[in-house]
Structure formats: C-alpha cells, structure tokens
Structure 1
Amino acid sequence: MPARLRLALFVTGLLALAAIAAVLMFAVGERTVPAAGFAGAVRPPDMPRTDFAVRDEHGEELRLAEMRGKPVVVTFLYTTCRDTCPLTAQQIRIALDDLGHDVPVVAVSVDPANDTPRRARAFALEQGLQGRMRWALGSASELQRLWRAYGIQPQSDDAEHTASTIVLDGQGVQRVGFAASILTPDGLAHDIAMLERERRAAS
C-alpha cells in the first residue's frame, strides 16, 4: 500500500475516533441523572428522623408523621424571595409533572417574621403549586428545630439562607439532598421514583 494512502487512512481513522469521542462527551454532558444511583447527594445514614407539628398557610396542622409511606420533598423557602426560591419552586413543580403524580411537598419558612399565611398562599398560587405544596409556618423558635435537623441557615439581613431541597423516604428518613445549584426537575423526579420503587420492593 502506498505511503500516502496509509497516511490518509491513518488520519481518517484519527478523525473518526475524535468525532466519536466528541459525541460521547456531549452525551455525557447532557445527562441530568445517573444511569444508576441517586442524582442528589446521599445524606449520611445516621440522620435522625425529625417529626414536626406546625401550622400551614391555611392554619391547619401540618404533621410530618402523617405523610409516612411515600417520599416527601422538604424544601426551604421564603415568600419575598425573587430569585432562588421561585426557581426552586418551579423545579419542584416540573418534577411532579414529569413524575406523573404528586407526592407531599413541604416548604419550610426560613423567614418567619415575613412569611405570613397570606404571602405563603400567594407564593404557592404564583408558582402553580396551590394544593400541591404546603408551607410549614411558625415563629423562629418553633422552626428552629427543623432548621437544625436539616442543617439549614435561615434568612437574615447578614446572610442568605441555605437553599436546599431534601427528599425523605417512606419512613421519614433523609435520603438525598439537592443544593439549589444542582437541583433539576429530571434529577428530583428520578430520585423520587427510585424511592418509590424501593418502597414497593420492600413491601
């Protein structure tokens, strides 16, 4: 085989390999959920179960223990937020839509002085989550135990709150967490579905 032909074939082969590698890199970069395992960060296995009984935006008692048996999404928001919180709410709404059914979603206030029931109801309505998400409202002293249990820094004049969304399993155990920077509808829906399958397999 002439040297020029061998060189041409060699260069063509290299270009083909480079093209395949580029396609694979693009495909990996486009993935939003893993092929196996959780999309969110796995929580430590010794995280204690934390029940709470507070009032929601309608003045009704909200008790976490009553939600046992299915995954529960717990997120931390405040009603006057104009950036991270509405985005988080939309990610959750789209995840529920993608999942095809609702699971309990609880938004724990991180700004109790300003998160009034009226503002909480308005926020849920604006985000398309009316009837799909309940607010956990109360005084700072009432919510302090929740913030501590989930590792949350509340909103203050000096610091932004911890923007975190956590998924509990059917036993109320913290299983996976999403910082706002990694929360996606695909990832959240994926992890909820994994916990639902896990629950069915165990029953």
Structure 2
Amino acid sequence: MTVRKDLIIGGAVAVVALVSGGIYLSNGSGGSYADCVASNVAGGLDNFGTSFTLRNQKDEQVTDQEVFSKPSLLYFGYTYCPDVCPLDSARNAEAAEILKERGIELQTVFITVDPDRDTPEVLADFTDSFPGDMIGLTGTQEEIAAVNKGWRNYYKLNNQEDSEYYLVDHMTNTYLIMPGNETVEFFDRNKSPEEIADSAACFIQAAS
C-alpha cells in the first residue's frame, strides 16, 4: 500500500470529501434498542443488509450468518486505499479493543469494494495489520455489487485509464450488525473509537 500513496493520496482526499457524508439517515430501530439508537434512516435500519456468500481472507467460503454470529462493525473499503480505509479500519479495531477490555465481544468486518485487486491473500495482509481478528471478505464483481446494494453503499471504480493504481469512490459509514445479520446502527467518519464503543456496548447489553 505504501508505494501507491504518493500517486493517489491527493485524489483520495477529494473522494472522501465527496462521499464521506454518504447517507444521512433518520432513525428506524426501536424495540429493546430504542434507548441506544442515535442515527435516523428513512424506513428504518431494518431495511439495510442482505444475505450473502463470500470468501474470507483464508479463502474460505462463508455466509452472512456465519460472519455475523456475534456483534460486528461492518465497513466497506479497499486495501489499496491510501489513507481513509486504513484509518477507519484502525478506528473500528480500536473500538473493539476498548470493549474487549470491558469484557464485551465485538468483531470487525471489512468487505472490499475492489474485488479484482483484493484477493483473499491481499485481504489477509490488510486485516493482519490491525489488532483483533478482523474478517476480510471478497467475491466476484456481481457478489460484491449485491452486498453493497443491500447496505445502500455507493462505490465506483475509477479504473478506465489506469488498471493498476486506480482509486475507488465509496461511502465511509460503519454499520453495527447484531447476530443474525441485523443492522441496528451506523457511524460516520466523525465518530471516535470511544463513541463507537459506548454505542455498541449499549446495543450489546440491551440484547443480552
């Protein structure tokens, strides 16, 4: 990743400014989580998510039910991203570490928006860069498109002129997924690890 930074970091900053706001949502989750929900989404976060079968960084085929067997922070990005994706992934991993110290289990999941370059082997190198047991997922272009559509995640490959060092425009929200593939909250880039940890703890404790 480091050899690409000088070439594409300027473009990445512009991309983040364009898409980091992504979806501004209005609250739909209720029930036992009503006291925990801070974000809002038209129609409710119940409408987010989809079932899937993808390949993890160990090149194993896994389903959404297998991946989301425990509370998870889900992020869509790509390993060739020069700054945003590593920073957001590090923040999410830090939030999980904060909860680990409190005796609360929270895992992190990274789904690529760049499956042509992000093979299981490449994802393994990326996920190994962060504390905890981050899960990296990839698939075919069609499989990745379907998963992104399920979480309403915009992305666009800018690979028309450069097939090697291209950028990918993408949204930068992180989703909190409860066991059974239930999306209950989302966090934008402005949220700190502590804020994410506190919010996730509320949901996890409400479910227990």
2:184 — aligned with what? 175
3-state SS, counterpart of residue 89 of structure 2? helix
CA distance 1:156–1:48, change in 2 (3 Å): closer
Aligned AA (1:110): V
Aligned counterparts, 1:1-203, within 5 A = 37-38=36-37, 41-43=39-41, 44-67=44-67, 70-100=70-100, 101-129=104-132, 132-157=133-158, 160-180=169-189, 182-200=190-208
Q: Percent identity?
A: 22
- C-alpha RMSD of the superposition: 2.1
Higher radius of gyration, 1 or 2 = 1
Partner of 1:30: none
Aligned residue pairs, count:
161
Q: What's the offset of the Cα at 1:109? A: 0.5
Q: Secondary structure at the match of 1:191?
A: helix
The CA deviation at 1:118 is: 2.0
Deviation at 1:106, TM superposition (A): 1.6
Alignment TM-score, normalising by the size of structure 1: 0.71
SS at match of 2:91: helix
In structure 1, runs of 5+ residues without a counterpart are 1-35
Map Cα deviations across residues 41-92 of structure 1 (whole Å, 9 max, x no partner).
2442441552211111111122221255632221111011111101111101
Deviation digits for residues 137-169 of structure 1 (CA, Å, limit 9, x no counterpart): 011111111100111122411861111210112
One-letter code aligned to 1:96: A
Can you give the 5+ residue segments of structure 2 that lack an aligned partner in the other structure?
A: 1-34, 159-166
Shift of 1:192: 1.6
C-alpha distance after superposition, 1:27-52 (max 9, x if no partner)? xxxxxxxxx6445x244244155221
- Residue 108 to residue 83, structure 1, CA distance change in 2 (3 Å): same
Q: Is the 8 A contact 2:71 2:177 kept in 1?
A: yes
Structure 2 counterpart of 1:138, which letter?
A: G
Query: 2:123 touches 2:136 (CA, 8 Å); kept in 1?
Result: yes
- Answer yes or no: is the 8 Å Cα contact 2:48–2:152 preserved in 1: no
Residues 159 and 112 (structure 1 numbering): CA distance in 2 closer, same or farther, change over 3 Å? closer
Distance 2:94 2:151 in 1: 24
**Are the counterparts in 1 of residues 46 and 184 from structure 2 also a CA contact under 8 Å?**
no
- TM-score, normalised relative to structure 2: 0.69
Asked if 1 retains the 8 angstrom alpha-carbon contact of 2:172 and 2:188, the reply is yes
Change (3 A) 1:114 1:68: closer
> After alignment, is 170-179 or 44-53 more displaced?
44-53
Output the amino acid matched with 2:148.
W
Structure number with higher helix proportion: 1
One-letter amino acid of the counterpart of residue 170, structure 1: P
Letter in 2 for 1:139: T
Cα 1:45–1:150 shift into 2, 3 Å: closer
SS of 2:157's equivalent?
coil
